[in-house]
Structure 1
Amino acid sequence: MFTGIVQGMGELVALEEKQDFRRHVIRMPADMLNDLALGASVAHNGCCLTVSAIDANQVAFDLMQETLRVTNLGALRLGDRINLERAARFGDEIGGHAMSGHIYCQATVTEVIRTPDNRTLWFELPANAMKYVLTKGYIGVDGASLTIGAVRERQFCVHLIPETLQRTTLGARTVGERVNIEIDPQTQAIVDTVERVLAAQQSA
């Protein structure tokens, strides 16, 4: 489980490409390396990956075909920065909201509104994901737990404070770029359950 509180940004320093497979190596911040071991879970832009090798502050992770298909990790290039969060431990403060590290889909940045002390980003989602997106609800964007500011048709926005802009890659996002989206699991469960109940009633 993750909390959606990005702990640091890593730099992609090496890539190994194979058929429907990628191994990437991240230079991780020193304060995220304590007790890190093979098999540990680390979220990359919100996607849960498993540590496969450790060499000082360079940590390798394997990305399978489904990960490359669903997430934006396959589009990363050397030198790109990645939002990182280690798996939550029992007793940790949940500052964001409970997240699984399973990416539902990607969204495209459609508008960036800059103001002196914050920033608003608008995203477009696939139509089938919009039923889970509610104003003031939670959503995971590239691993950051954020509150949805407003919703319109197939778009939603989030408002970013200076701390989020500094701590995450969201401050560098531009129009046309794609981000990983994790839907709030409680919202998804409620919506899906209501749909099933209504469908059963209509077919009865």
Structure 2
Amino acid sequence: MFTGIVQGTAPLVSIVEKNEFRTHVVVLPASLREGLAIGASVAHNGVCLTVTAIDGEHVSFDLMRETLRLTNLGALQVGDRVNIERAARFGDEIGGHAMSGHVICMAELVELEEAPDNRRLWFELPAEYGRFLFDKGYIGVDGISLTIGEVKDAGQASRFCVNLIPETLSRTTLGERGPGERVNIEVDPQTQAIVETVERVLASRR
């Protein structure tokens, strides 16, 4: 389980390419390595990955075919940075919302609105996932727990915006994102469960 409160970013320093398989090596600071062991779960841009090797500050993670297909991790190159969150522990403060680290799709950044001390980002995702979007609802964007500001129907797609404060821009990679780039999306698990349950009940009554 994760909370969507990103603890920092980490640079990708090595990529080992195999057949529909990748190993990423990132550099984690001492604060994020404390108590870290092989087999532990760490979210990269909101994707739950398993630690496969630790060599000092260099920590390795394996990415399977489905992860490469469904998320933006497969497009990363050496030198890129990822948002990092260690798995939540019992008793930790839940400052965001409960997240599983299971990305449902990617969304494209289509518009960026600048304002003093904040920034509004508009994202577009496939229309089939629009039913999970609600004004003031929760959403995970590259592993960051955010509140949806507004939702719009864009025909073959759905659009939503989030408003970012300077702390979020400085602590995460969203401050570096530009139009055309794609982010990982995890919808609020409770919202997803409620929507799908209601859909099944209504379908059974037809």
With the length of structure 2 as denominator, give the TM-score of the two structures: 0.97
1:27-176 matched pairs, under 5 angstroms: 27-153=27-153, 154-176=158-180
Q: Is the 1:104–1:183 contact (alpha carbons within 8 Å) kept by the matching residues of 2?
A: yes
Counterpart for residue 194 of structure 1: 198
Q: Is the 1:139–1:181 contact (alpha carbons within 8 Å) kept by the matching residues of 2?
A: yes
Flag structure 1 segments of 5+ consecutive residues without an equivalent: none
**Partner SS, residue 77 of structure 1:** coil
Deviation (angstroms), 1:29:
2.2
Q: What is the alpha-carbon distance in structure 2 between the residues aligned to residue 58 and residue 182 of structure 1?
A: 27
Moved >3 Å (runs of 4+): none
Deviation (angstroms), 1:181:
0.2
Cα deviation per residue 1:101-125 (whole Å; 9 max; x = unaligned)?
Answer: 0000000000011112000000001
Cα deviation per residue 1:52-72 (whole Å; 9 max; x = unaligned)?
Answer: 000111100000000001000
Q: Is the 1:41–1:48 contact (alpha carbons within 8 Å) kept by the matching residues of 2?
A: yes
Flag structure 2 segments of 5+ consecutive residues without an equivalent: none
Task: Report the RMSD for the aligned CA atoms in angstroms.
Answer: 0.5
With the length of structure 1 as denominator, give the TM-score of the two structures: 0.98
What amino acid is aligned across from residue 7 of structure 2 in structure 1? Answer: Q
Aligned residue pairs, count: 202
Q: Is the 1:38–1:52 contact (alpha carbons within 8 Å) kept by the matching residues of 2?
A: yes
Cα deviation per residue 1:92-149 (whole Å; 9 max; x = unaligned)?
Answer: 0000000000000000000011112000000001111000000000000000000000
1:183 aligns with 2:187: yes
Q: Is the 1:9–1:29 contact (alpha carbons within 8 Å) kept by the matching residues of 2?
A: no
Q: What is the alpha-carbon distance in structure 1 between the residues aligned to residue 122 and residue 203 of structure 2?
A: 32
